[in-house]
Amino acid sequence: MPRQTTGVHQSLLAGVRRLLGRFRSTARRLRRPQVVGRWYRGLSYVWHLLVWSRIAAGRAGALPIELPAGMRHRKGIDLPPPRLEAAGNPARIADARALTDGFAEVYALLFANLQRADLLSSTRHAIPGPAFRGVYLWDSAFIARIWAWWDPAVAAEVLNAVVELRDGDRLQHVVTEFHESPYTQPPLIAWSLALLARQLPDTDAERLASRQLDALCAYQRWLDAHRRLGDGLYAWAHPYESGVENAPRFSNTDESVLRATGSIAAVDFSSYVVLQLEALAALAARIGRDEAAAGFSARAAWLRRRIDTRLWDDRDGLYYDRDATGSPVRMATIASLMPLWAGVPDARRAHLLVQRIMAPDGFGTLMPLPSVARGAPQFEPDMWRGPVWLNTAYGVIEGLRRYGYAREAAELGWRLCIGVYRVFHEERRIYEFYDPDAHHTRALRRKRGNRWKALTLGAGPQKDFVGWTGLANNLLLEVVLGLCPDRAGTALEPRLPADAAGLRLTLTLPHPELRLELHVLDAERIEGRISRAERSAEFSVGNGRRIDLDAVLDAADTGTTPCASAT
């Protein structure tokens, strides 16, 4: 009987979801006239932004950092979150506490923002923060990367929700219960899915790829038909589609003036499409579609060359958008660095980009990788006009690693994650964006002069926003500690800064299941212990050297000594 009841309940939910989907589609058509659209947006935001976001933020702020098992089970989470315990000498004790608490708060908020299957989605899905009550495209791509270290099954469902809620072949910018966007967003779902597949057993990875590949291929065809320009590059239909809507390349601070973007070859959009094509090639190859994989790889290579030829500006040593006349849009924003993530530049041009990335008047600020170069005349501490956003910063750091700049990537990764943790230590909040010049948020603004945004979202960065700020934990795990889990095992390649000397870190990971204890002796030497199941072993590794943790355990069983390799 309970099974029959559950089946009836699920059928009813599915029927209601279909009705809501039709309502959203109808509402989108009805609100096309500008006046009706404004009223619709106003009414729909009243509840979600003025009322519910305040309630939810208060609940998230009261959520215990240590999540009890009973609370986790209500959302189908059996494993505890990754856990970091940091200790250090008296001179480092504040950072040790910041590391411990900030790392834990990311996962507490990640859990708080996870939604169970409901009228919107048939699977669990994620909201980026209390004020954003919907499934967002690129937010979900990054949220899945954060979940992958805790529960890959949740990561897969977060990505699936975006695909499930597509409009025809278009992945939508955002979908709520009663509203859907007419736009798309940075196409990063395939990128996130391909990375997730690398962490799964072969059968699970193949099942994941088989389930989503056709829809993602159709989405690429939709982009080609609706967003590709005559020269093969891609253009945003509207600034909001880019995710960086009040960047100086698109608008003024308060968005009272928005640039027409439909004919502008966008350097970030074109770079994201390269990442999508690479991911589609990897997913197709995983399930034996070799011809399709080769086609996607060839298209990615062609688009890289096109970006490099059309969008590189030799005078400034940066990539820029190009307007309809072919003139560069000379604004040094974080978008200028996205080709590094996509593998576009040759070694010389990559080196020029790295110089700008590390320069204090470029992107090498206290909290690095601001959304506008620090020395640019357009810089101001307002959203995408200067503050640091962890999602685009993460992409640039991935680009540094792609080109072999591991030391620079780790330096910037440490400054980003410790900055997020220090701000949390002082203000007890995880924020949407950060000040590149300070470890506080007092100077930050959100679209200053835009009264509607001030009313609905407040005058500063959103609080309890883990949509991509949670990537601070990924930067610590993947870039600073150099943990690399895949089906073959787990490797460690630490690159901790000199000022981390004396820190003792104890890291417990549910996926892969292990406990890692690290003692940073000085700038060169790290001692550690790995424990997994009933096995444990000690090791020593030089900063910047790679060691296979599974080999460490195997060597302990056989009485041999594992070797660390330089990279």
Inform me whether the pLDDT recorded for 209 exceeds 80.
yes
Residues 528-546 pLDDT 10s: 999 998 899 999 999 999 9
Residues 414-432 pLDDT 10s: 999 999 999 999 999 999 9
Question: Does 113 map to a domain?
Answer: no
Inform me whether the pLDDT recorded for 24 exceeds 80.
no
At residue 99 the predicted structure's pLDDT band, cuts being 50, 70 and 90, is very high
Describe the strand order of the beta sheet including 545-548 as a list of residue ranges: 484-486, 489-492, 545-548, 565-566
Question: Does 36 map to a domain?
Answer: no
CA atoms within 13 A on the CB side of 490: 24
CA distance 53 to 463: 10
At residue 3 the predicted structure's pLDDT band, cuts being 50, 70 and 90, is very low
Question: Does 446 map to a domain?
Answer: no
CA distance 104 to 106: 5
pLDDT at residue number 34: 38
Please return the burial class of 561, using the count of CB atoms within 10 Å of its CB with bins 0-12, 13-18 and 19+.
Answer: exposed
- Exposure string of 244-260, with b = 16+ CB inside 10 Å and e = fewer, is bbbbbbbbebbbeeebe
List the single range of 47-56, 110-119, 255-264, 373-382 with lowest mean pLDDT: 47-56
Long-range contacts, stretch 350-356, CB < 8 angstroms, 24+ apart = 350/403, 352/317, 353/317, 353/318, 354/400, 354/403, 354/405, 354/408, 355/317, 356/317, 356/318, 356/332
Inform me whether the pLDDT recorded for 5 exceeds 60.
no
At residue 9 the predicted structure's pLDDT band, cuts being 50, 70 and 90, is low
Nearest to 370 by CA among 342, 389, 355: 389
Question: Does 97 map to a domain?
Answer: no
Nearest to 339 by CA among 262, 391, 395, 389: 395
Number of structural domains in the chain: 1
E strand or H helix at 363, and its extent?
none
CA distance 229 to 264: 9
pLDDT at residue number 31: 42
Q: Compute φ and ψ for 485, nearest 5 degrees.
A: -85, 135
Could you count the other beta carbons within 10 Å of the beta carbon of residue 90? 8
The arithmetic mean of pLDDT across residues 152-157, rounded, is 96
The pLDDT mean for the chain works out to 89
pLDDT at residue number 233: 98
Question: Does 541 map to a domain?
Answer: yes
Residues 317-356 pLDDT 10s: 999 999 999 999 999 999 999 999 999 999 999 999 999 9
Residue type, 53: S
Question: Does 447 map to a domain?
Answer: no
pLDDT at residue number 58: 43
CB 40 within 8 A of CB 23: no
Structure tokens at 33: 């006239």
CA distance 272 to 267: 9
At residue 29 the predicted structure's pLDDT band, cuts being 50, 70 and 90, is very low
Residues 52-78 pLDDT 10s: 444 444 444 444 567 888 889 999 999
Inform me whether the pLDDT recorded for 153 exceeds 80.
yes
Rg of the chain over CA atoms, in angstroms?
23
Nearest to 206 by CA among 140, 141, 288: 288
pLDDT at residue number 43: 53
* 496: containing domain: 489-566
pLDDT at residue number 36: 43
pLDDT at residue number 7: 64
Question: Does 281 map to a domain?
Answer: no
Question: Does 242 map to a domain?
Answer: no
* 504: helix, strand or coil: strand
CA 344 to chain centre: 20
At residue 17 the predicted structure's pLDDT band, cuts being 50, 70 and 90, is low
CA distance 57 to 222: 37
Residues 356-413 pLDDT 10s: 999 999 999 999 999 999 999 999 999 999 999 999 999 999 999 999 999 999 999 9
pLDDT at residue number 487: 63
List the single range of 55-64, 374-383, 468-477, 479-488 with lowest mean pLDDT: 55-64
Inform me whether the pLDDT recorded for 11 exceeds 90.
no
Percent pLDDT > 70 in the chain is 86
pLDDT at residue number 461: 94
Could you count the other beta carbons within 10 Å of the beta carbon of residue 39? 11
Which tops the pLDDT comparison, 22 or 70? 70
Interior angle at CA 126, CA 122 and CA 127, nearest 5? 125
CA distance 541 to 561: 12
Which tops the pLDDT comparison, 486 or 352? 352
From residue 10, alpha-carbon distances to 164, 188, 416 in Å are 16, 30, 43
pLDDT at residue number 179: 81
Q: Determine if the peptide bond prior to 461 is cis (ω within 30°).
A: no
Nearest to 125 by CA among 189, 48, 80: 189
Inform me whether the pLDDT recorded for 93 exceeds 90.
no
pLDDT at residue number 286: 95
At residue 130 the predicted structure's pLDDT band, cuts being 50, 70 and 90, is confident
DSSP state of 50: I
Inform me whether the pLDDT recorded for 40 exceeds 90.
no
